[in-house]
Structure formats: C-alpha cells, structure tokens
Amino acid sequence: MSFKFALVGNPNCGKTTMFNEVTGSTQHVGNWPGVTVEKKEGKARRFKEDIRVIDLPGIYSLSPYSLEEIISRNYILEEKPDVVINIVDATNIERNLYLTTQLIELGIPVVVALNMMDALESRGDQIDIPRLEKQLGVPVIPTSANKAQGTKELIEKSLQVAQSAATGQLGESITIFDEQIKKSLDELLSFITPQCNQVYPPRFATVKLLEGDEIVIAKLQPNSAFMALITTTRGRLEQEYDNDMETIVADQRYQFISKVISKSVKKKLSVGGLTV
Ligand code: GDP
Ligand code: K
Ligand code: MG
C-alpha cells in the first residue's frame, strides 16, 4: 500500500520543519513567509509503509487570490491526497483555524497537527485536546516539529485515518454556519449534479459558488437556472446581512472559531503585564 499525505497550513506554522523531520530531508526552513512556492515531495522515514509526504505552500485560505493558494488548493482538490495534515500554530490558533474550517468542509480526511506546543507551554497557555477534537470533528495531535515531538504519533494517526474503512470524515457533520446560511447552502447543494461532484467536493463547491469564486464557476459551469438561483440567493443574503457574501462567510467562520476556542483554550491570565 502507498499513501500520500499533504502538509497544509499558514505560512510559518512549521510545515517545512515537519517535512524535514518526517522525511529526513534538509529543505530550507525560514522564519518568513513565502519560502515554499513549489510543492516538495519526500518519503516518510521510519515507517515500513510507502508514505509520500508533500510540503505545500503556506496559505491562509482556500480562496483563489494568490499563487500559493492556487497551487495548494489545486493539489488538494486534484491530486486528492489520502490525508490532509493541517499544521496549526498553537500559539496563533485563532488565525490558523480559519483555514481549518475550510479544510474540514472538503470531505477528505483531515488530521490536525497542533504544532509549536513547546512555545505554547512555555507561555503558560493550555489547550484541551479532546475538546478541540470534539469541536472540530477531526483528530488533533500535539506536536513540536523542531524537537521531533509528536511527529511519529502524527504519522501513525494519519496512517490509521487513511486505512480506516470510513471514507467520509467526521468534520463534515460539524456546522460552521448559522441556520439561515446553512439552509441556503443546503438548497444549493440539492442542485449540485453528480458531474460537479467529480470535480469538487459538494460542500466546498456550494460555498465557493455563493461567494462567486470565478475559478469554481468556470470549472463547474452551472446551467443558467442554477446560476440564477446562486445569484438571487447571494443577493438576498447580502441584503439581509447587510454585507458582501465573502465577508458574511468569513465572519461566520470566525464566530465558529471563537466558540471552539472558548471551549478548548485556556490562556494564562495576565493583568497589566503581571501574570496572576
Ligand atoms: P513553514 O513556513 O510553515 O514551512 O514554517 P517553517 O518550517 O519554515 O518554520 C517557521 C519557523 O518556526 C522556523 O523558525 C522554525 O524553526 C520554527 N518552528 C517550526 N516548528 C516549531 C515548533 O514546533 N516549535 C517552535 N518553537 N518553533 C518551530
Ligand atoms: K517559513
Ligand atoms: Mg516552508
């Protein structure tokens, strides 16, 4: 059996450090964004299974606006890795989970590597891993890639997920959007054809169609009746929420993330610079 695991995450969350640790290669690690624009591939060492690991460019979102986003998004959607390993910088969890909310909509297996745990712990903060897993609906493995901590467990868990009989994934049942948006998305979902399904994961497709993602629209070529429904739905929601569709969707992702964080992250209290 051979497997493909893609490392996906924000710039500077430790993807290349993780890639080097897992594959034994010596790619340049740098404390600035944009080091990786091309994807890099290597083989996981210390495992008897044939595991290809892919280090993808750092991204904040699955939108189609930057070269990094397009490369990473296309790889995930078209090459269909067995598991997306979403590397999350634990010290910057709120911003990092924004991408996570999009990955769990894809309906492909996701395992979260909660990285930089060493830095989080030395700061005195705590994250309740089982609670975070429950909120996100995907496995979460704490790691410190620079110290090779948790990395073996991460690959073991990813193998387990890749080999498990369940093809779908738990994260799909997690609701990120409020009732009204969810209702509209469900309605659009009922128009997604089996042909569309082969191109893009349906939940991802409906959100992107609603947001007016040009690449997704060009690729799916919704018929005129479907396109009209998308346009009227977007117009109606933009009027009701008094905002543009992409902002509405982003706001709701952040509301979901605040809820997740309030339930699973415990920050060391600090008052006027003094810790209490
Ligand atoms: P990438 O942009 O996602 O590929 O991130 P890099 O692997 O280049 O890492 C960015 C910075 O974070 C580098 O200075 C790494 O040494 C550092 N780093 C990576 N993983 C960890 C970790 O688990 N803990 C700490 N403290 N630093 C890390
Ligand atoms: K970097
Ligand atoms: Mg990198």
51 and 138 belong to one structural domain? yes
Beta carbons of 56 and 83 less than 8 angstroms apart: no
- pLDDT of 32: 65
Residue 124 assigned as binding residue: no
- How would you label 124-143 residue by residue, b for 16+ Cβ within 10 Å and e otherwise? ebebebeebbebbebbbbbb
242 and 198 belong to one structural domain? yes
Domain boundary among 119, 136, 167: 167
30 and 154 belong to one structural domain? yes
Q: How far is the CA of 80 from the centre of ligand 3 (A)?
A: 21
Q: How far is the CA of 195 from the centre of ligand 2 (A)?
A: 38
Q: Are strands 274-275 and 270-271 parallel, antiparallel or unpaired?
A: antiparallel
- The answer to whether position 272 is within a domain reads no
Q: Using alpha carbons only, how large is the chain's radius of gyration in Å?
A: 19
21 and 150 belong to one structural domain? yes
The model's pLDDT over 210-267, given as tens digits with 9 standing for 90+, comes to: 999 999 999 999 999 999 999 999 999 999 999 999 999 999 999 999 999 999 999 8
148 and 220 belong to one structural domain? no
CA-closest candidate to residue 25, choices 33, 34, 36: 36
72 and 142 belong to one structural domain? yes
146 and 222 belong to one structural domain? no
Residue 199 assigned as binding residue: no
Residue 23 assigned as binding residue: yes
The model's pLDDT over 105-157, given as tens digits with 9 standing for 90+, comes to: 888 899 999 999 999 999 999 999 999 999 999 999 999 999 999 999 999 99
157 and 230 belong to one structural domain? no
- The answer to whether position 206 is within a domain reads yes
* ipTM score for this prediction: 0.99
- Tell me if 92 CB under 6 Å of ligand 1: no
What pTM, to 2 d.p., does this model score? Answer: 0.93
Q: How far is the CA of 168 from the centre of ligand 1 (A)?
A: 31
- In this structure, the residue with its CA closest to atom 14 of ligand 1 is 31
Number of domains in the chain: 2
